[in-house]
């Protein structure tokens, strides 16, 4: 019995090293691997960007994926006032105003992009009512300031792209409808309460996250396609407005 037990112990001692060797040889090599060259910060940024991109694509594929731009800005407006009878144009000077609004950028199933909304815009300029053609020598200026307050509705097509992981650019352009809110007028010049024009808006968006960004941009309006004023003294009136703005953008999925 003692000989059998001794023989069994010796056999086990010979077999165990063989099993250990077979597991740690060519077919089995346990070890902890760590890639020190892996950029985990970059992978995290890429993951966040892809998440935002998926949300954007989801919005584009939904019934109405959109973003809303809240804007506050400064503008300068000048007018071109043509006199009747081939006389010289009335002299004008630009004046400062401001713009405050909320514009919505939306995509219908990702196939067409539009911008619309409401701007409150102050368009101011000075006009010299003394036409140079009506006087001899040096005319005496009779300057009046014209101040207009409008609710402005753009109806724009929108194109845009991402130029980096968190910076995008949008350009929207098209017609606009504007309704004058005040009743100021300059005697003899007439001025319509409705303005039909063309506009363009360039917006740069810096994404803080997938839901919100900071915007900075500029806009231009060519007003008076419907001829803002036409009287016995004035043949045609239109306006040019340049502006800059800042604000923030919020993404939504309706």
**58: pLDDT confidence band, cut at 50, 70 and 90?**
very low
Q: Say if CB 150 and CB 195 are below 8 A apart.
A: yes
In a domain, 113, yes or no: yes
Own/partner long-range contacts of 36-45 (Cβ < 8 Å, ≥24 apart) = 45/165
Cα distance from N-terminal residue to C-terminal residue, the chain: 86
Domain count, the chain: 1
- Structural domain boundaries enclosing 103: 63-253
Cα distances (angstroms) measured from residue 157 to each of 8, 98, 112, 124: 89, 24, 8, 27
* Residue at 16 is within a domain: no
pLDDT value at position 24? 45
**Residue 83: inside a domain:** yes
Reference 131, options 92, 93, 89, 94; nearest CA is 89
> Phi and psi at residue 98, in whole multiples of 5°?
-145, 165
Question: Residue 40 falls within a domain, yes or no?
Answer: no
- Name the pTM for this structure: 0.71
Mean per-residue pLDDT, 153-158: 96
Does 46 map to a domain?
A: no
Q: Which of 108-117, 173-182, 240-249 has the lowest mean pLDDT?
A: 108-117
Mean pLDDT of 82-100: 90
Q: Does any domain span residue 49?
A: no
What CATH code is carried by the domain that includes residue 136?
A: 2.40.160.20
* pLDDT of 91 above 60: yes
Is 19 contained in some domain? no
pLDDT, residue 137, reads 55
The per-residue pLDDT of the chain, averaged, comes to: 80
Q: pLDDT tens for residues 120-149?
A: 999 999 988 776 666 555 666 778 888 889
CB count in 10 Å sphere of residue 243: 23
Query: Please, which pLDDT band fits residue 106 given cuts at 50, 70 and 90?
Result: confident
Mean pLDDT of 10-18: 53
The answer to whether residue 3 is domain-embedded is no
Mean predicted confidence (pLDDT) in 12-39: 52
| pLDDT (mean) for 160-166 | 86
């Amino acid at each position: 019995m003692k000989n059998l037990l001794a023989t069994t112990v010796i056999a086990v001692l010979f077999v165990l090293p063989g099993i250990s060797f077979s597991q740690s040889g060519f077919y089995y090599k346990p070890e902890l691997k760590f890639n020190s060259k892996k950029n985990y910060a970059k992978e995290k940024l890429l993951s966040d960007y892809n998440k935002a991109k998926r949300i954007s694509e989801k919005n584009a594929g939904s019934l109405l994926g959109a973003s809303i731009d809240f804007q506050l800005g400064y503008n300068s407006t000048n007018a071109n006032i043509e006199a009747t009878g081939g006389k010289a144009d009335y002299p004008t000077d630009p004046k400062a105003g401001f713009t405050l609004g909320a514009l919505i950028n939306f995509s219908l199933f990702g196939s067409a992009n539009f911008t619309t909304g409401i701007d409150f815009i102050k368009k101011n300029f000075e006009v010299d009512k003394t036409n140079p053609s009506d006087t001899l020598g040096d005319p005496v200026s009779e300057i009046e300031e014209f101040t207009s307050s409008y609710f402005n509705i753009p109806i724009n097509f929108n194109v845009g792209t991402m130029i980096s992981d968190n910076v995008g650019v949008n350009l929207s352009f098209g017609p606009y409808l504007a309704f004058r809110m005040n009743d100021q007028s300059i005697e003899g010049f007439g001025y319509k309460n409705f303005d039909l024009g063309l506009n363009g808006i360039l917006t740069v968006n810096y994404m803080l996250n997938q839901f919100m960004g900071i915007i900075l941009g500029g806009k231009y309006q060519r007003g008076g396609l419907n001829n803002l004023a036409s009287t016995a003294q004035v043949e045609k009136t239109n306006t040019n407005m340049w502006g800059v703005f800042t604000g923030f953008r919020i993404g939504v999925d309706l």
